[in-house]
Chain A
């Protein structure tokens, strides 16, 4: 378990204080994929660097499995860091080393014997799917392949924690998906605790179990991915949730209102198991109102499929519309009338 308690980090440069983190508290369970989302400058990268002490906090505690990490001696800290893998937005590979040698690097540092290193590297190359590229240099690889090397390198010493600092932000959507799948598989196979720093809500939705939203150096909202998507409280969280639905809700509202000036447009939110049931069909059968689906967006996440459907109902009275939305709500659909 990782406990982050009252972490404050202030950078002082040229007499000016920059408050990167202003009192952050988090608790991350073993084996969890924990997302930390926020806009740039929210302090999320600083916070993750405090976990492995690349940055020293101004005050507060980081406790990993009951040990206060800032009390470690420098050699204890180096040993601990070997068990905390880290991957980066710009991969940070050594260009002077081949794929194989890059992955071998943390093993050299840990003092693993040469034969064991070779064996381990082969295993890792298979794990991340880079067979045949062992002797390539980073400059000869695509972004996705570079991140795979980064992941293999981070896993070399069998860490119990993996820190991912904007690991997919420099990749295209398709490559992002393949890297997220790889991380998900690694989490399942090795039960590694993952902390995912990102500004992309899709990453949180597809990969994370829990998420904390950071803004201006503080954790403004925290919970399971399901809760955050269904009931975003904070303004920043709401903005992030909207990005996944493609266009901004307000824009969609306006467009649909213009297209359908009569009747009612409803926004139906689905999450988890209920997405698999034929709720819409059932409810439509029970009503006499003409229902048409005018917009929808369904994506797949750690907690099952989730999405939104915009339905237009017309030719009815207020009471009939109410009845229709009640039917949906009874099935667990979240209904908003636009």
Chain B
């Protein structure tokens, strides 16, 4: 075991781990913010919604479906010109962020809509009867009441993003995926392949564990 550990280039591992964490959490934060906004938009423009708008609803729904239909590996390639414009390069962890956000935002938006749909319609009706404005209903009722589902949605999205970063890594974004592909696969270094896989698994478990703990704390139903 010691012998095995000695074979691992720890510095290289830590750099790769940092890159993966950076990519995952930066893109997760951005995707959750954008996804939540789009989720609220989708939910409230529905036919029974607070800001009923058929055209806006159908348009947003269409874009979300298209983005969700494109495999991530294709998104990576399609987004290259946009990334170059925005970040200046198509290599490195930073350059992976735009494509990761574009892939995860529609995913989280869908999860947010599901979370909002589960909010008791009666509480929304009661808030209306109390004279709440539509904005107050969204900020004071819809989001707080959907919070546990929104948080577990963040977890699911975060875990998907860990997988996406590995794919992005394979085409030059760095991180554990890059390490596993370049050293583990291309150079047939099984120790690197194995240890980067273990790290990815640990990240996923930690995200899920933290998520479950928070959901349990905030769910008062």
A78, A80, A81, A90: which contacts B122 (Cβ < 8 A)? A90
Tell me the number of A-to-B contacts counted with CB atoms below 8 Å.
66
Which of B120, B128, B130, B147 lies at the interface centre, i.e. has the most chain A CB atoms within 10 A of its CB? Answer: B130
Which chain B residues lie closer than 8 Å to A79 at the CB level? 131
| Chain A binder among B7-15, B138-146, B178-186 | B138-146
Which chain A residues lie closer than 8 Å to B141 at the CB level? 94
Which chain B residues lie closer than 8 Å to A106 at the CB level? 130-131
A147: min CB distance to chain B, Å: 13
Q: Are A92 and B131 in contact (CB under 8 A)?
A: no
A195: min CB distance to chain B, Å: 13
Q: How many residues of B contact A (CB 8 A)?
A: 21
- How far apart are the CA atoms of A81 and B131 in the complex, in Å? 5
Contacts A92-B120, A93-B123, A95-B220; A109 near B130 (Cβ below 8 A) = yes
B123: min CB distance to chain A, Å: 5
B170-202 CB contacts (< 8 Å) to partner A: none
B118: min CB distance to chain A, Å: 12
A94: min CB distance to chain B, Å: 6
- Asked if B55 is an interface residue, CB under 8 A from chain A, the answer is no
B81-127 CB contacts (< 8 Å) to partner A: 120, 122-123, 125-127
Which chain A residues lie closer than 8 Å to B2 at the CB level? none
- Asked if A198 is an interface residue, CB under 8 A from chain B, the answer is no
Q: Are B220 and A96 in contact (CB under 8 A)?
A: yes
Q: Are A92 and B125 in contact (CB under 8 A)?
A: yes
Q: Are A84 and B129 in contact (CB under 8 A)?
A: yes
Chain B interface mostly: helix
- Asked if A139 is an interface residue, CB under 8 A from chain B, the answer is yes
Q: Are A88 and B126 in contact (CB under 8 A)?
A: yes
- Asked if B132 is an interface residue, CB under 8 A from chain A, the answer is yes
Which chain A residues lie closer than 8 Å to B3 at the CB level? none
Q: Are A96 and B122 in contact (CB under 8 A)?
A: no
Contacts A105-B140, A110-B131, A139-B221; A86 near B126 (Cβ below 8 A) = yes
- Asked if A52 is an interface residue, CB under 8 A from chain B, the answer is yes
Q: Are A96 and B130 in contact (CB under 8 A)?
A: no
- Asked if A205 is an interface residue, CB under 8 A from chain B, the answer is no
Contacts A78-B131, A96-B144, A109-B131; A88 near B221 (Cβ below 8 A) = no
B153: min CB distance to chain A, Å: 16
Q: How many residues of A contact B (CB 8 A)?
A: 30
- Asked if A293 is an interface residue, CB under 8 A from chain B, the answer is no
- How far apart are the CA atoms of A79 and B125 in the complex, in Å? 16
B130, B144, B218: which contacts A81 (Cβ < 8 A)? B130
Q: Are A54 and B220 in contact (CB under 8 A)?
A: no
Which chain B residues lie closer than 8 Å to A163 at the CB level? 129
Which chain B residues lie closer than 8 Å to A91 at the CB level? 122
Contacts A54-B129, A78-B131, A109-B136; A94 near B144 (Cβ below 8 A) = yes
Q: Are A94 and B145 in contact (CB under 8 A)?
A: yes
- How far apart are the CA atoms of A86 and B132 in the complex, in Å? 13
A60-114 CB contacts (< 8 Å) to partner B: 77-82, 84, 86, 88, 90-97, 105-106, 108-110
B120: min CB distance to chain A, Å: 7
- How far apart are the CA atoms of A78 and B122 in the complex, in Å? 18
- Asked if A324 is an interface residue, CB under 8 A from chain B, the answer is no
- Asked if A39 is an interface residue, CB under 8 A from chain B, the answer is no
Q: Are A139 and B220 in contact (CB under 8 A)?
A: yes
A91: min CB distance to chain B, Å: 8
A/B interface sample: 19 pairs, CB < 8 A = A54-B128, A77-B131, A78-B132, A78-B133, A81-B129, A81-B130, A86-B129, A88-B125, A92-B120, A92-B125, A93-B126, A95-B220, A96-B147, A105-B130, A106-B130, A109-B132, A139-B221, A153-B130, A157-B130
A: which residues have CB within 8 A of B?
A: 52, 54, 77-82, 84, 86, 88, 90-97, 105-106, 108-110, 137-139, 153, 157, 163
Given contacts A79-B131, A95-B220, could you give 7 more A-B pairs where the C-beta distance is less than 8 Å?
A77-B131, A92-B123, A94-B123, A96-B145, A96-B147, A96-B220, A109-B133
